[in-house]
């Protein structure tokens, strides 16, 4: 029996979306392709089944226009042009015109901030170090320009300064309507013979007076102990029980130099840290804390 040849559908002159069929261009594995002219002016060979089903409506220009229209702020994934890499923690921003921009016009935010600060692009041989280790903290004061690759980790001084900044921002400021005179606990070594004890008390009083002049109140536990010893009604362990209760009500603790070998001071530090009371060993930081955070001066 002779094989009956299937007659192909004639769609010449018909429009399908942006395409107008012209003629059959080829047959591949029983699939018929038609040469079509698109409204954009391009010609393309399209499988007739794809055209008839409506899956193909242009030479590809429609899809390109659709994605172009959804770029930038029109895209549903737009986040203000900022993207944080979940693996590295670095933040990228959309700055296609910047000389340090990479693929898709994105530039690392810390690179952009440092570049703007310097007034020039960042060189390939340069890297930027985050002082506090937080890679999304791209304030210029947290960034440091290095020649070559910087090592892992952070400097201890940088971390301390950052922690102090956080402390300043998190401590509530006292308003003028509700003035408050904070209390600072002055801790230090006390044990020793009589001359040593008197010397330690003298040093604690001198440091306490310096703190008092910054506009706050101070509690000097050695005077509390001295009073108890004079009256004869307080043992050394009683002194700790009494001073610990006062410590819980304080706004900060200052460590007088020489405290490092004092077991009593270490217990005071542990108690303060356990209830969120800041501990200072630097008089400059303490006075700044008193002025800007507790007293609320500008």
Asked whether residue 164 carries a pLDDT value surpassing 80, the answer given is no
pLDDT tens per residue, range 195-206: 777 778 888 888
pLDDT tens per residue, range 242-288: 788 888 888 889 998 888 888 888 888 998 988 888 888 888 888 77
Average pLDDT, the chain: 77
In the chain, % of residues over pLDDT 70 = 71
**Section 51-59 average pLDDT:** 85
Position 110 confidence tier, pLDDT thresholds 50, 70, 90: very high
Tokens 């900022």 label which residue? 82
Predicted pLDDT at 80 = 55
**Section 65-73 average pLDDT:** 59
The total number of residues written for the chain in this structure: 298
Predicted pLDDT at 185 = 92
Is 115:93 a contact under the CB 8 Å cutoff?
no
Is 185:254 a contact under the CB 8 Å cutoff?
yes
Predicted pLDDT at 105 = 84
Give the lowest-confidence range in 44-48, 67-71, 204-208, 250-254: 67-71
**Section 222-248 average pLDDT:** 69
User: CA-CA-CA-CA torsion for 87, 90, 94, 95, nearest 10 degrees?
Assistant: -140
CA-to-CA distance for 6 and 263, rounded, in angstroms? 100
Which is more confident, 136 or 3? Answer: 136
- State how far the alpha carbon of 232 is from the alpha carbons of 126, 220, 229, 235, 236, in Å: 68, 19, 5, 8, 11
**Section 219-237 average pLDDT:** 67
- Using alpha carbons, select from 248, 244, 256 the residue that is nearest to residue 283: 256
Angle between helices 263-274 and 236-247 (to 10 degrees): 30
pLDDT tens per residue, range 9-28: 788 888 888 899 999 888 88
Q: What is the 3-state secondary structure (H, E, C) of the chain?
A: CCCCCCCCCCCCCCEECCEEEEEEEEEECCEEEEEEEECCCCEEEEEHHHHHHCCCCCCCHHHHHHHHHCCHHHCCCCCCCEEECCCCCCEEEECCCCCCCCHHHEEEHHHHHHHHHHCCCCCCCEEEEECCCCCCCCCHHHEEEEECCCCCCCCHHHHHHHHHHHHHHHCCCCCCCCCCCCEEEEECCCCCCHHHHHHHHHHHHHHHHHHHCCCCEEECHHHHHHHHHHHCCCCHHHHHHHHHHHHCCCCEEEECCCHHHCHHHHHHHHHHHHCCCCEECCHHHHHHHHHHHHCCCC
**Section 188-215 average pLDDT:** 78
All domains of the chain, ordered by start, with CATH?
15-66 (no CATH), 82-154 (no CATH), 171-294 (3.40.50.10400)
């Amino acid at each position: 029996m002779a094989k009956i040849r299937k007659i192909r559908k004639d769609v010449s002159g018909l429009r399908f979306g942006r395409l107008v069929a012209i003629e059959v261009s080829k047959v591949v594995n029983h699939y018929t392709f038609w040469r079509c002219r698109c409204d954009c002016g391009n010609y393309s060979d399209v499988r007739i089944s794809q055209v008839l089903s409506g899956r193909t409506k242009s030479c590809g220009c429609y899809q390109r226009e659709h994605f172009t229209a959804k770029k930038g702020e029109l895209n549903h994934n737009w986040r203000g042009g900022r993207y944080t890499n979940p693996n590295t923690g670095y933040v990228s921003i959309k700055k296609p015109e910047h000389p340090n921009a990479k693929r898709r016009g994105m530039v690392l935010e810390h690179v952009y901030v440092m570049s703007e600060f310097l007034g020039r692009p960042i060189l390939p041989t340069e890297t930027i170090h985050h002082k506090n280790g937080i890679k999304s903290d791209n304030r210029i004061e947290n960034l440091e320009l290095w020649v070559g690759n910087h090592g892992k980790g952070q400097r201890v001084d940088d971390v301390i300064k950052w922690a102090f900044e956080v402390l300043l921002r998190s401590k509530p400021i006292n308003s003028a309507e509700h003035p408050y005179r904070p209390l600072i606990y002055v801790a230090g070594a006390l044990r020793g013979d009589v001359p040593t004890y008197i010397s330690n008390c003298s040093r604690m009083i001198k440091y306490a007076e310096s703190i008092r002049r910054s506009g706050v109140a101070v509690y000097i536990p050695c005077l509390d102990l001295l009073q108890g010893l004079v009256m004869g009604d307080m043992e050394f362990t009683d002194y700790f029980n009494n001073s610990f209760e006062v410590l819980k009500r304080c706004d900060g603790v200052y460590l007088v130099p020489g405290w490092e070998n004092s077991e009593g001071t270490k217990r005071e530090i542990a108690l303060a840290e356990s209830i969120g009371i800041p501990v200072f060993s630097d008089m400059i930081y303490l006075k700044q804390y008193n002025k800007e955070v507790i007293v609320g001066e500008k």
